[in-house]
Structure 1
Protein backbone atom coordinates (compact mmCIF):
# COMPACT_ATOMS: atom_id res chain seq x y z
CA UNK A 1 0.00 0.00 0.00
CA UNK A 2 1.35 3.40 -0.97
CA UNK A 3 1.89 5.91 1.82
CA UNK A 4 -0.68 8.26 0.33
CA UNK A 5 -3.32 5.55 0.78
CA UNK A 6 -2.55 4.90 4.43
CA UNK A 7 -4.08 6.18 7.65
CA UNK A 8 -1.22 6.51 10.10
CA UNK A 9 -1.44 6.95 13.85
CA UNK A 10 1.43 8.97 15.32
CA UNK A 11 1.47 8.88 19.11
CA UNK A 12 2.81 12.11 20.51
CA UNK A 13 2.33 13.50 17.03
CA UNK A 14 1.85 17.17 17.92
CA UNK A 15 5.28 18.06 19.29
CA UNK A 16 8.98 17.36 18.93
CA UNK A 17 9.94 14.41 16.78
CA UNK A 18 6.29 13.39 16.53
CA UNK A 19 5.42 16.69 14.89
CA UNK A 20 8.20 16.21 12.34
CA UNK A 21 6.83 12.73 11.59
CA UNK A 22 3.33 14.14 11.18
CA UNK A 23 4.56 16.77 8.73
CA UNK A 24 6.46 14.17 6.70
CA UNK A 25 3.34 12.03 6.39
CA UNK A 26 1.17 14.98 5.44
CA UNK A 27 3.69 15.91 2.76
CA UNK A 28 3.44 12.39 1.31
CA UNK A 29 -0.36 12.56 1.19
CA UNK A 30 -1.20 10.21 4.06
CA UNK A 31 -4.05 10.79 6.44
CA UNK A 32 -2.74 11.15 9.98
CA UNK A 33 -4.25 10.44 13.36
CA UNK A 34 -2.38 12.77 15.69
CA UNK A 35 -2.48 11.50 19.24
CA UNK A 36 -1.60 14.02 21.94
CA UNK A 37 -1.90 14.33 25.70
CA UNK A 38 -0.74 17.81 26.70
CA UNK A 39 0.01 19.52 23.35
CA UNK A 40 -3.53 20.53 22.52
CA UNK A 41 -2.71 23.93 21.00
CA UNK A 42 -0.27 22.41 18.52
CA UNK A 43 -2.71 19.61 17.69
CA UNK A 44 -5.50 22.09 17.02
CA UNK A 45 -3.26 24.07 14.67
CA UNK A 46 -2.52 20.91 12.70
CA UNK A 47 -6.20 20.06 12.38
CA UNK A 48 -7.11 23.58 11.27
CA UNK A 49 -4.34 23.74 8.68
CA UNK A 50 -4.76 20.22 7.31
CA UNK A 51 -8.44 19.53 7.90
CA UNK A 52 -8.69 16.92 5.15
CA UNK A 53 -5.69 14.92 6.30
CA UNK A 54 -5.50 15.24 10.08
CA UNK A 55 -7.67 13.91 12.87
CA UNK A 56 -6.53 14.76 16.40
CA UNK A 57 -7.33 12.80 19.53
CA UNK A 58 -6.33 13.26 23.15
CA UNK A 59 -5.51 9.97 24.86
CA UNK A 60 -3.22 8.54 27.48
CA UNK A 61 -1.66 5.73 25.48
CA UNK A 62 -0.81 3.78 28.62
CA UNK A 63 -4.58 3.36 29.11
CA UNK A 64 -5.82 0.53 26.90
CA UNK A 65 -9.45 1.66 26.91
CA UNK A 66 -8.56 5.19 25.83
CA UNK A 67 -6.44 3.74 23.02
CA UNK A 68 -9.26 1.49 21.81
CA UNK A 69 -11.65 4.44 21.77
CA UNK A 70 -9.14 6.50 19.79
CA UNK A 71 -8.95 3.79 17.11
CA UNK A 72 -12.74 3.59 16.91
CA UNK A 73 -13.12 7.38 16.64
CA UNK A 74 -10.44 7.61 13.95
CA UNK A 75 -12.15 4.89 11.93
CA UNK A 76 -15.44 6.75 12.17
CA UNK A 77 -13.81 10.04 11.16
CA UNK A 78 -11.98 8.75 8.08
CA UNK A 79 -14.39 5.97 7.17
CA UNK A 80 -11.50 3.53 7.20
CA UNK A 81 -9.42 1.86 9.87
CA UNK A 82 -5.92 2.90 10.86
CA UNK A 83 -3.46 1.01 8.66
CA UNK A 84 -0.16 1.99 10.26
CA UNK A 85 1.11 2.93 13.71
CA UNK A 86 4.13 4.99 14.75
CA UNK A 87 4.80 4.44 18.46
CA UNK A 88 6.66 7.66 19.15
CA UNK A 89 5.19 9.23 22.30
CA UNK A 90 7.71 9.80 25.07
CA UNK A 91 7.04 10.34 28.72
CA UNK A 92 8.31 13.78 29.71
CA UNK A 93 12.08 13.33 29.62
CA UNK A 94 15.18 15.49 29.40
CA UNK A 95 18.49 14.37 27.93
CA UNK A 96 20.60 16.02 30.59
CA UNK A 97 23.49 13.86 31.73
CA UNK A 98 24.09 15.92 34.85
CA UNK A 99 20.50 15.58 36.04
CA UNK A 100 19.93 11.92 35.19
CA UNK A 101 19.16 9.50 38.05
CA UNK A 102 22.30 7.59 39.04
CA UNK A 103 22.02 3.88 39.68
CA UNK A 104 22.53 4.47 43.41
CA UNK A 105 19.36 6.55 43.63
CA UNK A 106 17.31 5.15 40.75
CA UNK A 107 13.83 4.12 41.89
CA UNK A 108 11.77 1.33 40.41
CA UNK A 109 8.90 3.77 40.01
CA UNK A 110 11.06 5.80 37.59
CA UNK A 111 11.89 2.63 35.65
CA UNK A 112 8.24 1.58 35.61
CA UNK A 113 7.13 4.93 34.21
CA UNK A 114 9.49 4.57 31.26
CA UNK A 115 8.48 0.95 30.67
CA UNK A 116 4.82 1.97 30.64
CA UNK A 117 5.56 4.85 28.26
CA UNK A 118 7.44 2.62 25.82
CA UNK A 119 6.32 -1.00 26.05
CA UNK A 120 2.86 -0.83 27.59
CA UNK A 121 1.87 1.93 25.18
CA UNK A 122 3.13 -0.08 22.19
CA UNK A 123 1.24 -3.13 23.40
CA UNK A 124 -1.95 -1.07 23.69
CA UNK A 125 -1.74 0.41 20.18
CA UNK A 126 -0.71 -2.91 18.64
CA UNK A 127 -3.63 -4.76 20.20
CA UNK A 128 -6.08 -2.02 19.22
CA UNK A 129 -4.88 -2.18 15.60
CA UNK A 130 -4.84 -5.94 15.15
CA UNK A 131 -8.39 -6.83 14.13
CA UNK A 132 -8.50 -4.33 11.28
CA UNK A 133 -4.93 -5.03 10.16
CA UNK A 134 -5.63 -8.77 10.07
CA UNK A 135 -8.82 -8.21 8.08
CA UNK A 136 -6.93 -6.09 5.55
CA UNK A 137 -3.90 -8.41 5.52
CA UNK A 138 -1.82 -5.26 5.83
CA UNK A 139 -0.24 -3.34 8.67
CA UNK A 140 2.85 -1.31 9.39
CA UNK A 141 4.03 -0.76 12.97
CA UNK A 142 7.14 1.35 13.60
CA UNK A 143 8.49 1.68 17.12
CA UNK A 144 10.86 4.51 17.96
CA UNK A 145 14.00 3.42 19.78
CA UNK A 146 17.41 4.82 20.65
CA UNK A 147 21.02 4.15 19.73
CA UNK A 148 21.82 4.27 23.45
CA UNK A 149 20.87 0.58 23.55
CA UNK A 150 23.87 -0.17 21.32
CA UNK A 151 26.09 2.58 22.71
CA UNK A 152 25.07 3.79 26.20
CA UNK A 153 27.54 6.65 26.15
CA UNK A 154 25.34 8.41 28.72
CA UNK A 155 23.75 5.87 31.09
CA UNK A 156 20.13 6.96 31.14
CA UNK A 157 19.16 3.74 32.92
CA UNK A 158 15.37 4.06 32.88
CA UNK A 159 15.00 5.39 29.34
CA UNK A 160 17.51 3.01 27.76
CA UNK A 161 16.20 -0.09 29.54
CA UNK A 162 12.67 0.71 28.37
CA UNK A 163 13.78 1.16 24.77
CA UNK A 164 15.77 -2.09 24.92
CA UNK A 165 12.60 -3.85 26.06
CA UNK A 166 10.73 -2.19 23.19
CA UNK A 167 13.33 -3.53 20.74
CA UNK A 168 12.75 -7.05 22.06
CA UNK A 169 8.99 -6.53 21.78
CA UNK A 170 9.46 -5.31 18.19
CA UNK A 171 11.24 -8.51 17.25
CA UNK A 172 8.85 -10.88 19.01
CA UNK A 173 5.74 -9.19 17.60
CA UNK A 174 7.20 -9.23 14.09
CA UNK A 175 7.50 -13.00 14.42
CA UNK A 176 3.95 -13.32 15.72
CA UNK A 177 2.25 -10.99 13.24
CA UNK A 178 4.03 -11.61 9.94
CA UNK A 179 1.50 -14.31 9.06
CA UNK A 180 -1.14 -11.56 8.89
CA UNK A 181 0.78 -9.27 6.54
CA UNK A 182 1.83 -6.99 9.39
CA UNK A 183 5.39 -5.68 9.45
CA UNK A 184 6.90 -4.48 12.73
CA UNK A 185 10.16 -2.56 12.80
CA UNK A 186 12.11 -0.10 14.93
CA UNK A 187 13.81 3.14 14.00
CA UNK A 188 16.45 4.25 16.50
CA UNK A 189 18.01 7.68 16.68
CA UNK A 190 20.60 9.43 18.71
CA UNK A 191 20.37 12.89 20.15
CA UNK A 192 18.35 15.04 17.73
CA UNK A 193 18.99 18.74 17.10
CA UNK A 194 16.69 19.83 18.68
CA UNK A 195 13.55 18.61 20.37
CA UNK A 196 11.91 19.32 23.71
CA UNK A 197 13.76 16.34 25.15
CA UNK A 198 17.17 17.54 23.93
CA UNK A 199 16.68 21.22 24.72
CA UNK A 200 18.67 20.89 27.95
CA UNK A 201 21.68 19.38 26.18
CA UNK A 202 24.67 21.77 26.01
CA UNK A 203 25.75 22.91 22.55
CA UNK A 204 29.21 21.43 23.04
CA UNK A 205 27.66 17.97 23.26
CA UNK A 206 25.97 18.47 19.89
CA UNK A 207 29.28 19.67 18.45
CA UNK A 208 31.07 16.58 19.77
CA UNK A 209 28.46 14.28 18.27
CA UNK A 210 28.65 16.03 14.90
CA UNK A 211 32.44 15.69 14.84
CA UNK A 212 32.11 11.96 15.57
CA UNK A 213 29.73 11.12 12.71
CA UNK A 214 30.70 10.35 9.11
CA UNK A 215 28.20 12.98 7.95
CA UNK A 216 29.70 15.58 10.33
CA UNK A 217 26.31 16.68 11.56
CA UNK A 218 23.71 15.94 14.20
CA UNK A 219 20.55 14.34 12.80
CA UNK A 220 17.51 16.60 12.80
CA UNK A 221 13.95 15.50 13.61
CA UNK A 222 13.05 16.08 9.95
CA UNK A 223 15.85 13.79 8.71
CA UNK A 224 14.85 11.11 11.16
CA UNK A 225 11.18 11.40 10.20
CA UNK A 226 12.00 10.91 6.53
CA UNK A 227 13.64 7.55 7.30
CA UNK A 228 10.34 6.31 8.76
CA UNK A 229 8.78 6.61 5.31
CA UNK A 230 10.91 3.70 4.11
CA UNK A 231 9.30 1.34 6.63
CA UNK A 232 5.83 2.51 5.58
CA UNK A 233 6.44 2.27 1.85
CA UNK A 234 5.96 -0.77 -0.42
CA UNK A 235 9.73 -0.94 -0.78
CA UNK A 236 9.97 -2.44 2.71
CA UNK A 237 7.32 -5.12 2.29
CA UNK A 238 9.91 -7.86 2.97
CA UNK A 239 11.47 -6.04 5.95
CA UNK A 240 10.30 -6.87 9.46
CA UNK A 241 11.80 -7.32 12.90
CA UNK A 242 14.60 -4.90 12.06
CA UNK A 243 16.15 -1.99 13.93
CA UNK A 244 17.46 0.78 11.69
CA UNK A 245 19.77 3.25 13.39
CA UNK A 246 19.44 6.76 11.99
CA UNK A 247 22.13 8.94 13.57
CA UNK A 248 24.44 10.00 10.75
CA UNK A 249 26.54 6.86 11.10
CA UNK A 250 27.60 7.44 14.70
CA UNK A 251 26.62 3.97 15.91
CA UNK A 252 26.82 0.86 13.77
CA UNK A 253 23.89 -1.53 14.24
Structure 2
Protein backbone atom coordinates (compact mmCIF):
# COMPACT_ATOMS: atom_id res chain seq x y z
CA UNK A 1 0.00 0.00 0.00
CA UNK A 2 1.29 3.50 -0.87
CA UNK A 3 2.43 5.50 2.14
CA UNK A 4 0.07 8.36 1.30
CA UNK A 5 -3.04 6.17 1.44
CA UNK A 6 -4.61 6.41 4.94
CA UNK A 7 -4.18 3.14 6.87
CA UNK A 8 -7.93 2.85 7.47
CA UNK A 9 -8.53 2.52 3.73
CA UNK A 10 -7.59 -0.04 1.16
CA UNK A 11 -7.85 -0.49 -2.53
CA UNK A 12 -10.73 -2.12 -4.37
CA UNK A 13 -10.36 -4.95 -6.85
CA UNK A 14 -7.64 -4.53 -9.41
CA UNK A 15 -6.09 -1.53 -7.68
CA UNK A 16 -8.94 0.77 -8.65
CA UNK A 17 -7.95 3.37 -6.07
CA UNK A 18 -4.97 4.40 -8.16
CA UNK A 19 -7.18 4.84 -11.19
CA UNK A 20 -9.63 6.79 -9.09
CA UNK A 21 -6.92 9.22 -8.01
CA UNK A 22 -6.06 10.11 -11.59
CA UNK A 23 -9.60 10.45 -12.88
CA UNK A 24 -10.35 14.11 -13.74
CA UNK A 25 -12.87 15.70 -11.40
CA UNK A 26 -16.30 16.65 -12.69
CA UNK A 27 -16.30 19.98 -14.49
CA UNK A 28 -12.72 19.54 -15.78
CA UNK A 29 -13.63 17.35 -18.76
CA UNK A 30 -14.91 20.13 -20.97
CA UNK A 31 -15.65 23.83 -21.08
CA UNK A 32 -19.38 23.53 -21.81
CA UNK A 33 -21.41 23.33 -18.62
CA UNK A 34 -25.09 22.61 -18.92
CA UNK A 35 -27.63 22.15 -16.15
CA UNK A 36 -28.91 18.57 -16.19
CA UNK A 37 -32.51 19.76 -16.68
CA UNK A 38 -31.45 21.71 -19.79
CA UNK A 39 -29.48 18.91 -21.43
CA UNK A 40 -32.36 17.47 -23.52
CA UNK A 41 -32.81 20.88 -25.20
CA UNK A 42 -29.37 20.54 -26.83
CA UNK A 43 -30.39 17.64 -29.07
CA UNK A 44 -30.39 18.62 -32.71
CA UNK A 45 -33.41 17.82 -34.83
CA UNK A 46 -32.99 14.41 -36.37
CA UNK A 47 -30.52 13.18 -33.76
CA UNK A 48 -31.34 9.74 -32.34
CA UNK A 49 -32.73 9.91 -28.83
CA UNK A 50 -30.65 7.74 -26.53
CA UNK A 51 -31.64 8.00 -22.89
CA UNK A 52 -28.68 7.79 -20.56
CA UNK A 53 -29.14 5.92 -17.28
CA UNK A 54 -30.85 8.28 -14.83
CA UNK A 55 -27.85 8.36 -12.47
CA UNK A 56 -25.17 8.42 -15.17
CA UNK A 57 -22.06 10.28 -14.05
CA UNK A 58 -23.14 10.48 -10.42
CA UNK A 59 -20.84 9.53 -7.56
CA UNK A 60 -22.71 7.62 -4.86
CA UNK A 61 -21.44 6.52 -1.46
CA UNK A 62 -23.26 3.61 0.17
CA UNK A 63 -22.32 2.78 3.74
CA UNK A 64 -22.59 -0.86 4.74
CA UNK A 65 -22.52 -1.90 1.10
CA UNK A 66 -20.75 -5.22 1.65
CA UNK A 67 -23.85 -7.35 2.06
CA UNK A 68 -27.63 -7.68 2.22
CA UNK A 69 -29.60 -4.43 1.77
CA UNK A 70 -26.47 -2.33 1.32
CA UNK A 71 -25.16 -4.53 -1.45
CA UNK A 72 -28.54 -4.46 -3.21
CA UNK A 73 -28.57 -0.67 -3.01
CA UNK A 74 -25.02 -0.43 -4.36
CA UNK A 75 -25.76 -2.76 -7.28
CA UNK A 76 -29.02 -0.99 -8.11
CA UNK A 77 -27.48 2.49 -8.15
CA UNK A 78 -24.59 1.21 -10.26
CA UNK A 79 -27.08 -0.40 -12.62
CA UNK A 80 -28.65 3.02 -13.11
CA UNK A 81 -25.37 4.60 -14.07
CA UNK A 82 -23.80 5.77 -10.82
CA UNK A 83 -20.22 5.10 -9.82
CA UNK A 84 -20.63 3.51 -6.39
CA UNK A 85 -18.23 3.65 -3.46
CA UNK A 86 -19.05 1.11 -0.76
CA UNK A 87 -17.74 2.18 2.65
CA UNK A 88 -17.92 -0.69 5.11
CA UNK A 89 -16.02 -2.17 8.01
CA UNK A 90 -16.15 -5.49 6.13
CA UNK A 91 -14.73 -6.13 2.67
CA UNK A 92 -16.94 -4.97 -0.20
CA UNK A 93 -14.94 -6.87 -2.81
CA UNK A 94 -17.87 -9.13 -3.69
CA UNK A 95 -20.12 -6.12 -4.19
CA UNK A 96 -17.53 -4.42 -6.37
CA UNK A 97 -16.95 -7.61 -8.34
CA UNK A 98 -20.67 -8.04 -9.05
CA UNK A 99 -21.00 -4.43 -10.18
CA UNK A 100 -17.95 -4.61 -12.44
CA UNK A 101 -19.11 -7.93 -13.89
CA UNK A 102 -22.35 -6.21 -14.88
CA UNK A 103 -20.42 -3.43 -16.60
CA UNK A 104 -20.62 -0.88 -13.79
CA UNK A 105 -18.05 1.07 -11.84
CA UNK A 106 -17.43 0.68 -8.11
CA UNK A 107 -14.83 1.00 -5.40
CA UNK A 108 -14.43 -0.61 -1.98
CA UNK A 109 -13.20 1.46 0.96
CA UNK A 110 -12.77 -0.09 4.38
CA UNK A 111 -13.61 2.25 7.25
CA UNK A 112 -15.48 2.34 10.54
CA UNK A 113 -18.35 4.77 9.90
CA UNK A 114 -18.73 5.41 13.63
CA UNK A 115 -15.17 6.76 13.83
CA UNK A 116 -14.84 10.46 13.05
CA UNK A 117 -11.32 10.30 11.63
CA UNK A 118 -12.05 7.20 9.56
CA UNK A 119 -15.11 8.82 8.00
CA UNK A 120 -13.19 12.01 7.23
CA UNK A 121 -10.37 10.04 5.59
CA UNK A 122 -12.67 7.84 3.52
CA UNK A 123 -14.79 10.69 2.23
CA UNK A 124 -11.70 12.74 1.47
CA UNK A 125 -10.43 9.88 -0.70
CA UNK A 126 -13.65 10.02 -2.72
CA UNK A 127 -13.50 13.80 -3.08
CA UNK A 128 -9.83 13.72 -4.04
CA UNK A 129 -10.49 11.06 -6.66
CA UNK A 130 -13.79 12.13 -8.19
CA UNK A 131 -14.06 15.77 -7.23
CA UNK A 132 -17.56 15.51 -5.80
CA UNK A 133 -20.15 13.37 -4.04
CA UNK A 134 -23.66 13.41 -5.50
CA UNK A 135 -25.40 10.76 -3.41
CA UNK A 136 -25.00 9.42 0.12
CA UNK A 137 -26.96 6.41 1.34
CA UNK A 138 -26.63 5.95 5.10
CA UNK A 139 -27.34 2.24 5.23
CA UNK A 140 -24.82 0.97 7.78
CA UNK A 141 -26.51 -0.03 11.00
CA UNK A 142 -26.81 -2.58 13.76
CA UNK A 143 -29.73 -5.02 14.03
CA UNK A 144 -28.41 -8.56 13.90
CA UNK A 145 -27.21 -9.70 17.27
CA UNK A 146 -29.33 -7.29 19.30
CA UNK A 147 -30.96 -9.25 22.10
CA UNK A 148 -34.63 -8.54 22.68
CA UNK A 149 -35.38 -7.66 26.29
CA UNK A 150 -37.52 -5.20 28.29
CA UNK A 151 -35.97 -1.76 28.41
CA UNK A 152 -35.40 -1.99 32.17
CA UNK A 153 -33.03 -4.89 31.52
CA UNK A 154 -30.94 -3.04 28.91
CA UNK A 155 -27.65 -1.90 30.39
CA UNK A 156 -26.17 1.47 29.48
CA UNK A 157 -23.27 0.01 27.48
CA UNK A 158 -25.64 -1.92 25.20
CA UNK A 159 -27.89 1.12 24.82
CA UNK A 160 -24.99 3.36 23.84
CA UNK A 161 -23.56 0.77 21.45
CA UNK A 162 -26.77 0.46 19.43
CA UNK A 163 -27.34 4.21 19.28
CA UNK A 164 -23.67 4.78 18.61
CA UNK A 165 -23.73 2.66 15.47
CA UNK A 166 -27.18 3.56 14.15
CA UNK A 167 -27.17 7.27 14.92
CA UNK A 168 -23.56 8.42 15.05
CA UNK A 169 -22.75 6.95 11.64
CA UNK A 170 -25.61 8.88 10.02
CA UNK A 171 -24.46 12.10 11.67
CA UNK A 172 -20.78 11.70 10.78
CA UNK A 173 -21.33 10.66 7.17
CA UNK A 174 -23.99 13.29 6.50
CA UNK A 175 -21.80 15.98 8.02
CA UNK A 176 -18.92 14.84 5.80
CA UNK A 177 -20.92 15.38 2.59
CA UNK A 178 -22.73 18.55 3.65
CA UNK A 179 -19.94 20.94 2.67
CA UNK A 180 -19.19 19.53 -0.82
CA UNK A 181 -22.89 19.11 -1.63
CA UNK A 182 -23.66 22.66 -0.49
CA UNK A 183 -20.78 23.94 -2.60
CA UNK A 184 -22.19 22.06 -5.60
CA UNK A 185 -25.73 23.28 -4.95
CA UNK A 186 -27.17 19.78 -5.25
CA UNK A 187 -27.14 16.32 -3.72
CA UNK A 188 -29.22 13.47 -2.38
CA UNK A 189 -29.01 11.86 1.06
CA UNK A 190 -31.07 8.77 1.85
CA UNK A 191 -31.15 7.39 5.38
CA UNK A 192 -32.25 3.84 6.10
CA UNK A 193 -34.61 3.78 9.09
CA UNK A 194 -37.13 1.08 10.08
CA UNK A 195 -40.88 0.66 10.24
CA UNK A 196 -40.60 -0.43 13.90
CA UNK A 197 -40.74 3.28 14.75
CA UNK A 198 -44.34 3.47 13.54
CA UNK A 199 -45.70 0.95 16.05
CA UNK A 200 -43.06 0.90 18.80
CA UNK A 201 -41.81 -2.67 18.81
CA UNK A 202 -41.59 -4.16 22.30
CA UNK A 203 -38.30 -5.34 23.81
CA UNK A 204 -36.18 -3.46 21.27
CA UNK A 205 -36.32 0.05 22.66
CA UNK A 206 -32.66 0.79 21.91
CA UNK A 207 -33.12 -0.17 18.26
CA UNK A 208 -36.47 1.63 17.96
CA UNK A 209 -35.00 4.75 19.55
CA UNK A 210 -32.04 4.72 17.18
CA UNK A 211 -34.24 4.52 14.09
CA UNK A 212 -36.63 7.16 15.44
CA UNK A 213 -33.59 9.40 15.73
CA UNK A 214 -32.71 8.71 12.10
CA UNK A 215 -36.20 9.78 10.98
CA UNK A 216 -35.96 12.96 13.02
CA UNK A 217 -32.50 13.69 11.66
CA UNK A 218 -33.82 13.19 8.13
CA UNK A 219 -36.40 15.93 8.62
CA UNK A 220 -33.97 18.34 10.25
CA UNK A 221 -31.35 17.81 7.55
CA UNK A 222 -33.98 18.34 4.85
CA UNK A 223 -34.81 21.76 6.31
CA UNK A 224 -31.18 22.78 6.76
CA UNK A 225 -29.92 21.53 3.40
CA UNK A 226 -32.96 22.29 1.24
CA UNK A 227 -31.95 25.89 0.51
CA UNK A 228 -28.74 24.50 -0.99
CA UNK A 229 -30.65 22.24 -3.38
CA UNK A 230 -30.04 19.05 -1.40
CA UNK A 231 -32.87 16.57 -0.83
CA UNK A 232 -32.82 14.35 2.25
CA UNK A 233 -35.19 11.42 2.64
CA UNK A 234 -35.49 8.14 4.46
CA UNK A 235 -36.60 4.60 3.70
CA UNK A 236 -38.17 2.56 6.49
CA UNK A 237 -38.17 -1.14 5.62
CA UNK A 238 -40.25 -3.83 7.21
CA UNK A 239 -38.68 -7.20 7.97
CA UNK A 240 -36.43 -7.85 4.99
CA UNK A 241 -35.48 -11.39 4.04
CA UNK A 242 -31.69 -11.56 4.06
CA UNK A 243 -29.12 -14.18 4.96
CA UNK A 244 -28.85 -12.62 8.42
CA UNK A 245 -32.58 -12.47 9.16
CA UNK A 246 -33.03 -15.99 7.83
CA UNK A 247 -30.51 -17.17 10.43
CA UNK A 248 -31.70 -15.02 13.34
CA UNK A 249 -35.48 -14.76 12.87
CA UNK A 250 -37.66 -17.84 13.18
CA UNK A 251 -39.80 -19.03 10.28
CA UNK A 252 -42.87 -18.68 12.49
CA UNK A 253 -42.18 -15.03 13.22
CA UNK A 254 -41.43 -14.22 9.58
CA UNK A 255 -44.71 -15.88 8.57
CA UNK A 256 -46.53 -13.87 11.22
CA UNK A 257 -45.06 -10.63 9.92
CA UNK A 258 -45.96 -11.50 6.33
CA UNK A 259 -49.57 -12.19 7.30
CA UNK A 260 -49.76 -8.72 8.83
CA UNK A 261 -48.83 -7.15 5.49
CA UNK A 262 -51.35 -6.17 2.81
CA UNK A 263 -48.94 -7.70 0.32
CA UNK A 264 -48.31 -11.05 1.94
CA UNK A 265 -45.00 -11.89 0.32
CA UNK A 266 -41.45 -11.57 1.68
CA UNK A 267 -39.76 -8.17 1.46
CA UNK A 268 -36.46 -8.48 -0.41
CA UNK A 269 -33.34 -6.28 -0.43
CA UNK A 270 -34.17 -5.33 -4.02
CA UNK A 271 -37.44 -3.79 -2.81
CA UNK A 272 -35.53 -1.44 -0.52
CA UNK A 273 -32.94 -0.71 -3.19
CA UNK A 274 -35.66 0.27 -5.65
CA UNK A 275 -37.09 2.79 -3.20
CA UNK A 276 -33.65 4.27 -2.58
CA UNK A 277 -32.97 4.53 -6.31
CA UNK A 278 -36.25 6.39 -6.79
CA UNK A 279 -35.34 8.92 -4.10
CA UNK A 280 -31.97 9.45 -5.80
CA UNK A 281 -33.52 9.90 -9.24
CA UNK A 282 -34.77 13.00 -11.09
CA UNK A 283 -38.31 11.67 -10.60
CA UNK A 284 -38.03 12.58 -6.89
CA UNK A 285 -36.88 16.13 -7.60
CA UNK A 286 -39.45 17.69 -5.24
CA UNK A 287 -39.44 14.98 -2.57
CA UNK A 288 -37.58 15.82 0.63
CA UNK A 289 -38.01 15.37 4.37
CA UNK A 290 -40.02 12.21 3.79
CA UNK A 291 -39.59 8.68 5.09
CA UNK A 292 -40.97 6.08 2.70
CA UNK A 293 -42.36 2.95 4.33
CA UNK A 294 -41.47 -0.16 2.35
CA UNK A 295 -43.22 -2.84 4.36
CA UNK A 296 -45.96 -4.32 2.21
CA UNK A 297 -48.57 -2.22 3.99
CA UNK A 298 -47.84 -3.71 7.42
CA UNK A 299 -48.41 -0.49 9.36
CA UNK A 300 -51.82 0.33 7.90
CA UNK A 301 -53.48 -1.45 10.80
CA UNK A 302 -56.38 -3.93 10.72
CA UNK A 303 -59.03 -3.55 8.03
TM, length-normalised to structure 2: 0.76
Q: 1:147 to 1:83 in 2, by over 3 A?
A: same
Q: Distance in 1 between matches of 2:281 and 2:248?
A: 34
Quote how far apart the aligned CAs of 1:237 are.
1.4
| Residues 1:129 and 2:180 are matched in the alignment | no
Specify which of 125, 136, 155 is matched with residue 85 of structure 1.
136
1:144 matched to which residue of 2?
A: 192
Worse-matched range after superposition: 63-72 or 8-17: 63-72
Would the alpha carbon gap of residues 44 and 31 (structure 1) be closer, same or farther in structure 2, given more than 3 Å must change? closer
Unmatched 5+ stretches in structure 2: 1-35, 37-53
Deviation, structure 1 residue 252: 3.6
Q: For residues 93 and 139 of structure 2, what CA distance do their matches in structure 1 show?
A: 19
Question: Is 2:90 aligned against 1:75?
Answer: no
Q: 1:184 aligns with which of 232, 235, 242?
A: 232
In the alignment, the residues of structure 1 paired with residue 179 and residue 221 of structure 2 have an alpha-carbon distance, to the nearest angstrom, of 15
Post-superposition shift, 1:229? 1.1
2:105 corresponds to 1:53: yes
Task: For residue 126 of structure 1, report the CA deviation from its aligned partner.
Answer: 1.2
C-alpha distance in 2, partners of 1:113/1:203? Answer: 28
- What is the TM-score with the length of structure 1 in the denominator? 0.90
- For the aligned residues, what is the CA RMSD? 2.1
Structure 1 counterpart of 2:261, from 204, 213, 219: 213
SS in 2 for 1:29: coil
1:105 equivalent to 2:146? Answer no
Task: State the match for 1:117 in structure 2.
Answer: 165
CA distance in 2, matches of 1:82, 1:215: 36
2:48 match: none
Q: Secondary structure at the match of 1:73?
A: helix
Q: Could you say which structure has the greater relative contact order, defined with CA pairs below 8 angstroms and 6 or more residues apart?
A: 1
Q: Which has the larger radius of gyration?
A: 2
**Aligned equivalents of 1:215, 1:48: Cα separation in 2:** 34
Offset of residue 196 of structure 1: 1.8
Bigger shift: 6-15 or 115-124?
A: 115-124
Q: 2:251 matched to which residue of 1?
A: 203
Question: Runs (4+) of structure 1 moved beyond 2 Å?
Answer: 38-52, 91-95, 152-155
Contact 1:26 1:53 in 2 (8 A): yes
Shift of 1:40: 5.0
